Every structure is written in structure tokens, then in C-alpha cells.
């Protein structure tokens, strides 16, 4: 099977395939949050642009997609999907390689958005990705006694 890079992939197909494939694997993301994200993508414009790329097989079937918000010279690889057929054909590798080629020589930075999943992090490193640590700020405004109970509970969880 030959793979073909495409700029002609609809937003709706990209969103639907991702949701069908990964919704069960992302139980903390509610249906409403998926819908809010979809609506945000549909209404992109002056603040940011949505760039969608895909891979099609010889029959014209979409076997991989990438949804990437573009803002301030950064293209964020926020959502990618690959079908079983695409996975077998290494369509996701092909897709990321083609995205890099398309935007090479421009001022854009491809931001993989990182991952705590070892396999995904390794996949990104294969393309020369480098770590860009970011700060995590946590604000706890709980009452004093509740905060102390939570600290004890969290300490017990970490000691296991």
C-alpha cells in the first residue's frame, strides 16, 4: 500500500475518528469537553488557525490525521489519529515526516506537546524532539484542616 500526504482532510472527520478511537482511553475527558474542543476548532480564526493534515491509502481512504493549532509561529501537534491499516503501514511516521518537510525552512516550530506515555515520548524523540520543561503551578485554597488531611493522604499514596 502506498501512502499519500494530504491537505484535504475535513475537521469533522479528524475529530470524529479521534473521539471514536480514544474516548474510552481518556475517561477523564467528558463528552461535553470533546464537544467544547470541537466547537473551539470550528470557530478558530483571529486568535489561532487550525491546520489539518492526513494520510490516504491508494483507495483514497484516510488512514491517519493530525490536528494542529497554529499560533505565534508554533504548530502544536495536539491531536493525531491512525487507523489499524495506517498503523500497519507506519502512516503516523509518514505523516509527521511529511509535516516536518512541508514546514521546513519556515519560521514555524513543530511542538509535539510532549507525553508522559513512554511509547509516545519515544516516537517524538525519533524526530529529534527536545524537551521543553514547563512549570506547573498548583494552588490549594482548601481550609487548613482539609489541606492537612489531604497532605497526609497524598504522602501515604506516595510511600506505597
pLDDT at 106: 92
pLDDT at 137: 66
User: What is the Cα–Cα distance from 120 to 123, expressed in whole angstroms?
Assistant: 5
Ranges of residues in the chain with a pLDDT under 50 are: none
Which of 3.40.630.30, 2.50.20.10, 3.20.20.10, 3.20.20.140 is the CATH number of 4-134? 3.40.630.30
Are the C-beta atoms of 92 and 85 separated by less than 8 Å? Answer: no
Tell me the pTM: 0.72
Are the C-beta atoms of 89 and 76 separated by less than 8 Å? Answer: no
Domains of the chain by residue range: 4-134
Contact residues for 89 (Cβ-Cβ < 8 A; gap 6+): 1, 3, 57, 63
pLDDT at 95: 94
Tell me the per-residue pLDDT of 103-147, one tens digit each, with 9 for 90 and over: 999 988 877 665 555 556 555 556 555 566 666 667 777 788 887
pLDDT at 56: 97
Cell numbers describing residue 150:
489531604
Amino acid at each position: 500500500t502506498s501512502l499519500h500526504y494530504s491537505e484535504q482532510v475535513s475537521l469533522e472527520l479528524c475529530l470524529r475518528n479521534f473521539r471514536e478511537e480514544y474516548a474510552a482511553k481518556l475517561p477523564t475527558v467528558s463528552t461535553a469537553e470533546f464537544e467544547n474542543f470541537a466547537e473551539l476548532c470550528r470557530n478558530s480564526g483571529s486568535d489561532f488557525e487550525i491546520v489539518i493534515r492526513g494520510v490516504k491509502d491508494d483507495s483514497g481512504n484516510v488512514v491517519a490525521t493530525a490536528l494542529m493549532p497554529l499560533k505565534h509561529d508554533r504548530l502544536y501537534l495536539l491531536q493525531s489519529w491512525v487507523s489499524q491499516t495506517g498503523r500497519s503501514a507506519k502512516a503516523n511516521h509518514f505523516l509527521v515526516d511529511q509535516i516536518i518537510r512541508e514546514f521546513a525552512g519556515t519560521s514555524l516550530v513543530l511542538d509535539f506537546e510532549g507525553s508522559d506515555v513512554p511509547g509516545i515520548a519515544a516516537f517524538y524523540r525519533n524526530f529529534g524532539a527536545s524537551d521543553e520543561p514547563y512549570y506547573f503551578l498548583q494552588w490549594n485554597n482548601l481550609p487548613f484542616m482539609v489541606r492537612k488531611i489531604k497532605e497526609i493522604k497524598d504522602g501515604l499514596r506516595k510511600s506505597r
